[in-house]
Structure 1
Amino acid sequence: MKIAIVAAGSWGTALSLVLNENGHEVCVWARHQSQIDIINQTGMNEKYLKNIKIPKSIQFTSDIKTAVEGAEIILFSVPSQQYQKTLEIFIEGGFIRKEVMLINVSKGIDMNTLETISQITQRLLPEQTFVTLSGPSHAEEVSQKLPTALVSASSSRKAAERVQDLFSNDYIRVYTNPDVVGVEISGALKNIIALGAGISDGLGYGDNAKAALITRGINEIAYLGTAMGATMETFRGLAGVGDLIVTCTSMHSRNRRCGILMGKGYSFEAAVEEIGMVVEGAYTVKSAYDLMIKFDLEMPITTELYKVLYEGKDARVAVNSLMSRQKKHEIDEYAKGFDHWE
């Protein structure tokens, strides 16, 4: 089938390689003709995916009509803060037919509406079939055909399984999950914790600190996710703890790399400029902080990172604030069941 991919960043390009290898016709839309010209001339998307050859069978275009014409699926790989605006352009241009399935692979929460990508889509296109594809996956490794497991989440089992079939091959394994919100919240908030892990590394703290951050981080993700209607099991799986581990420990993670630079003394703006690509966690910190207030939750890691990014708090002082919080039970919500514990 023909599949249109919206945006030619690292993940969109890597997934175009997978779909092309799986025998599909792939057309990638990019906003800037200059980027397309470089790809067509060199056969590579060097800025976003270094040293990876792109087959000539994958088409790149800056014309939306060319990209979506005849496509059965449109895959959006735009930064989360640009998703609504991009989707509106496609809707207003009449480029999304009712029978077309939409797949989203970006990970974030809209800062203005505090909506996940599925919620934005539901509001603008309530009848459209929608799937989110997530999980522990670096574009660099997928483009090198290294073993990767993903999660296909949708309210429609048929749609989730269709995407499972679409991407599965001998190095991509896809699991299905009906918990769309849980998968989305996991993918978005793990970027916050990865920023924190990077800051910890940049400050020179060790593995002990990172293990604590990851473990307490998945708790915060689950607190917010379940408050929004997600299922706890999702946070124990690939989209939850799996994606959190890979993002907090790998140098492929731009969120972690940004945090490392901040821990070494870079301003947030200077760190982002050094990375040269969108750092989703920076925006998600604010979205998650606002959602925390909305749902009246306690999320100390999110709170401290918000203060570092948006209030200028010193990162080392923020870590000290976390370490000196009031002593508590590790699993407060279950502690009342330990009446026999004396």
Structure 2
Amino acid sequence: MSGHAVVLGAGSWGTAFAKVLADAGRDVTIWARRESVVNTIRETGRNSEYLPELRLPHRVTATGDASAAIAGADLVVLAVPSQTLRGNLADWAAFIDRDATLVSLMKGIELGTTKRMSQVIVETAGVAEDRVAVVSGPNLAAEIAAEQPAATVVACTDMDRATLVQASVSTPYFRPYTNDDVIGCELGGAVKNVIALAYGMATAMGLGDNTKATLITRGLAETARLGVALGADPLTFAGLAGMGDLVATCSSPLSRNRTFGEHLGRGETLEQAQTATRQTAEGVKSCLAIRDLSRMHGVEMPITEQVELVCHEGANPRLAMAALMSRKPRPE
């Protein structure tokens, strides 16, 4: 696949995705904010901050100059933290080619606006929604960097564009499927981070597989309820961007959100968990926006509500779990 791609953001997933693009036949430039990251990638072919084991293909380079990186790219991949997207993209929008496809790797809901990432992209970059594709699925970066087989979903309202992105990231170890349900794919990717926090808490409390299977299943149910209220296809949540991503994020020790939840489940405060993990898990911020979204649409999301109480109001995780179990009985 010819053409130049830029990946804006040099975290684990952005770096692994740059490798996928290069292995699929593209020249790729990674934009990184920190000069030390840029220099290490250029000089050693490694991102020692995030994926030190990965030797990037020779088709990947790095720069700290966003305008130079974006100019002429037909694929512009956005891989920055969700809550920083609007500010960053406002600075970058002028450099994006008129026909370029914007690809979102981000899994969050914007605080304050309750907007999905594709909505923030459309609004901030001033592009039509059919130019924005979303990548979502069970995509733990370290496993993909090691070329362990994985599948993903490329969602776009324009199926021709989805197919173009699909071809741009198809490799022997990475299998993308297309979908036109952008709402469902984005929502599955955002809410699963919140459910994984609950799963991590349960793990740290020593709760067993019945509890954890319940959290995954009921977590998926509340994700689908909100999705349907927003206009998503309920079948999306049975697929890779729903169940697939949820299972991977909950069950893997590689998952930031699950690991963060484990710290909270051991009785640590939000600040202690942040210090221990050296970063804030996406679900910690998104749970506030998702809770607001659910209330706006009159959708019950009990696991999300309890995670928000633990993260932001200092609730005891054991009491949160007890509150979930003491809810009024109802049909499934």
TM range (shorter): over 0.9
Residue 27 of structure 1: aligned partner: 29
SS in 2 for 1:208: helix
Q: 1:180-229: CA deviations, max 9, x gaps?
A: 01000000000000000000001111111000000000001011111111
- Superposed displacement of residue 278, structure 1: 3.9
The one of 37, 44, 47 equivalent to 2:46 is 44
Cα separation, 2, equivalents of 1:131 and 1:237 = 17
What is the aligned partner in structure 2 of residue 4 from structure 1? 6
Match of 1:293 in 2: 295
Residues 79 and 278, structure 1, Cα contact 8 Å, conserved in 2: no
Residue 122 of structure 1 and its aligned partner are, at CA, apart by: 2.3
Deviation at 1:316, TM superposition (A): 0.4
SS in structure 2 at match of 1:47: coil
Aligned twin of 1:113 = 113
- Mean Cα displacement is larger for which, 266-275 or 234-243? 266-275
Instruction: State which structure, 1 or 2, has the greater radius of gyration over its C-alpha atoms.
Output: 1
Which range is displaced more, 121-130 or 13-22? 121-130
- Matched residue, 1:202: 204
Structure 1 stretches (4+) deviating beyond 4 angstroms?
A: none
Tell me the equivalent position of 2:328: 326
Matches within 5 A, 1:43-192: 43-91=45-93, 94-124=94-124, 125-127=126-128, 129-192=131-194
Task: Look up the match of 1:17.
Answer: 19
Mapped to 2, the partners of 1:275 and 1:170 lie a distance apart of 33
**2:246 aligned residue:** 244
Deviation at 1:45, TM superposition (A): 1.2
Secondary structure of residue in 2 paired with 1:176: strand
The 2-side partners of 1:59 and 1:260 are apart by 36
- TM-score under structure 2 length normalisation: 0.96
Secondary structure (helix, strand or coil) at the match of 1:266 reads coil
Alignment-mate amino acid for residue 56 of structure 2: I
Contact 1:262–1:271, Cα closer than 8 Å, also in 2 = yes
| C-alpha distance in 2 between matches for 1:313 and 1:37 | 44
What per-residue deviation string (whole Å, max 9, x for no partner) do you get for residues 265-323 of structure 1? 21122112222234100011101111111111211111111111111110000001111
- Secondary structure at 1:5 match in 2: strand
Identify unmatched segments of 5+ residues in structure 1. Answer: 331-342
Measured in 2, the distance between the counterparts of 1:169 and 1:73 equals: 17
Match of 2:257 among 255, 270, 274: 255
Structure 2 counterpart of 1:123, one-letter code: E
Residues 73 and 96 in structure 2, CA contact (< 8 A), matched pair in contact too: no
CA distance in 1, matches of 2:72, 2:303: 46
How far, CA to CA, are the matches of 2:59 and 2:239 in structure 1? 35
Counterpart residue type for residue 238 of structure 2: R
Shift, 1:69, TM fit: 2.1
C-alpha contact 2:25 2:168 (8 A) present in aligned 1: no
**CA contact 2:137–2:151 (8 Å) conserved in 1:** yes
* SS of 1:36 mapped into structure 2: helix
Which moved further from structure 2: 290-299 or 179-188?
A: 290-299
Give the conservation status (yes or no) of the 8 Å contact 2:72–2:97.
no
Separation in structure 1 between the aligned mates of residue 278 and residue 191 of structure 2, nearest angstrom = 21
Residues of 2 paired with 1:302 and 1:87: CA distance? Answer: 29
Partners of 1:163 and 1:290 in 2: how far apart?
A: 32
Contact 2:71 2:97 in 1 (8 A): no
Is the CA contact 1:98–1:127 (under 8 Å) kept in the aligned structure 2?
A: no
Higher alpha-carbon deviation: 47-56 or 284-293: 47-56
> 1:340: which partner in 2?
none
Number of residue equivalences: 328
CA contact (8 A) 2:194 2:283 kept: yes
Selected match of 2:267 from 265, 268, 273: 265
Q: Which residue of 2 aligns with 1:277?
A: 279
Taking structure 1 as the reference length, the TM-score comes to 0.93
Aligned equivalent of 2:224:
222
Distance 2:294 2:23 in 1: 42
- d(CA) in 1 for partners of 2:110, 2:84: 9
How many Å separate the matches in 2 of 1:171 and 1:65?
32
